[in-house]
Amino acid sequence: MFSKRGRVVVEDVPLPLCAAGGVLVRTAWSLLSAGTERTNISGQRVVDRLRRQPEVVGKVWNEVRRAGLSETVKLVTDKMDRPIQLGNSLSGVVIEVGAGVPDLAVGDRVACGGTGHASHAEYVFVPRNLTVTVPDGLHSKDAAFVTLGAIALQGVRRANLQLGETAVVVGLGLIGLLTVQILRAAGVRVIGIDPLKERAILAERLGAGVALVAGDGNPVAAVLAATGGVGADAVLLTAATPSSEPVNQAFEMARQKGRVVIVGDVGLQLSRPTFYNKELDLVISRSTGPGRYDPSYEEHGLDYPLAYVRWTERRNMEEFLRLAADGGLRLSELIGGEFSVEDAPVAYKALEGAGRGVALLLQYTAEPAARPARSVSIPRTGRARPGALRVAVIGAGQFARQTLLPRLVSHRDVIVRAIVG
């Protein structure tokens, strides 16, 4: 499944290879989350990207001056037409094990994470450190939450809360509601805040002691009232907005020497007086935990010693599944519907519909009639001369797509027999 120019498309592609250091997984369920998935799709629309990244205009203009208008148009068109893999959280069954992975076997139930790996696809190759075993008794549907659960768990770890302390969770989307449940399971008193009344009600049902609607009344006063005038020990921002109001409100909600943890994507134009006078700690929680964005860890399987890094990305994923298997989380209440992978475009539209849950699930065929091939045949257009040179191209990067392949394909004395990428 891909995003092309802001549209969701489902296409048949070759089966990925099972390389050393990872496993080939047949997907059972993959998770669509309202916030993340919509961001990935809208990220390809030109207008949306220019609003978020106005500096791109300057880069395009510089390219026009360097390479000329025609070449710049080709470059921009190539980037816009390039499909983007969607998805980052799934569960499935191992069907092939690469060299150097002694602790997983064919038939193991696993959950996988990682953008570019745990995509919405029938078959995926996933490196070892992004793959965890699903505990006995945990449904594969619940295991598909693994990536979002690890993000929420890492945010809780960064808050460094203790039993009996109070935390405010601002933004009750999927990660926010998972955060509420993890905090509750850890013995923390939880206050949830969201602009949507139905999300606040759901948070209360899932364990928040107090749930507030952001537009109703004064949330800062409500938090102070709920904490006896002291303020929260920590405020976790799981919202997504360019506004800096959430972080500055968080400063007002936190107690002296409290903590503000940024899990989501919020504006950071900080109001210094309250931040300084309360001597607050402001920390960022980076995705699923230590190891994220480190190619040595994610791609090449280099683990961090437990004695020095207790909770890595993979160990967070494992712990989230253990907590779910022990009954500490109610994940079924977060699911707004289930769709077949063929109906993925419909599922993405449903994410925007009112009344849906904060997550949807895509279901895949349990036992496909035949495993897909590792190659696809593309019919040749045009006619080549007898005796034409037969060429195979290894590598399908930007230069090959923009410059090399168009010239080869258009040449009557050349037949492109294969492209390997």
pTM of the model: 0.87
| pLDDT computed for residue 350 by the predictor | 85
CA distance 398 to 73: 14
| pLDDT computed for residue 366 by the predictor | 75
Kindly report the CATH number that applies to the domain delimited by 156-284. Answer: 3.40.50.720
CA distance 396 to 252: 52
* Tens digit of pLDDT at every position of the chain (421 positions): 777 767 888 888 889 999 999 999 999 999 998 766 666 555 545 555 555 566 666 777 777 778 777 767 766 666 666 778 899 999 999 999 999 999 999 999 999 999 999 999 999 999 999 999 999 999 999 999 999 999 999 999 999 999 999 999 999 999 999 999 999 999 999 999 999 999 999 999 999 999 999 989 999 999 999 999 999 999 999 999 999 999 999 999 999 999 999 999 999 999 999 999 999 999 999 999 999 999 999 999 999 999 999 999 999 999 999 999 999 999 999 999 999 998 988 998 888 765 556 899 999 987 765 666 666 666 665 566 777 888 888 987 777 877 788 888 888 788 888 888 6
CA distance 65 to 61: 6
Structural domain boundaries in the chain = 2-145+294-363, 156-284, 389-420
| pLDDT computed for residue 41 by the predictor | 57
Provide the sign of the torsion angle of the four alpha carbons 267, 272, 278, 284, taken in this order. Answer: positive
| pLDDT computed for residue 374 by the predictor | 64
Q: Class assignment of domain 2-145+294-363?
A: alpha beta
Amino acid at 90: L
- For Cα atoms 369, 370, 374, give the angle at the middle one, nearest 5 degrees: 155
| pLDDT computed for residue 44 by the predictor | 47
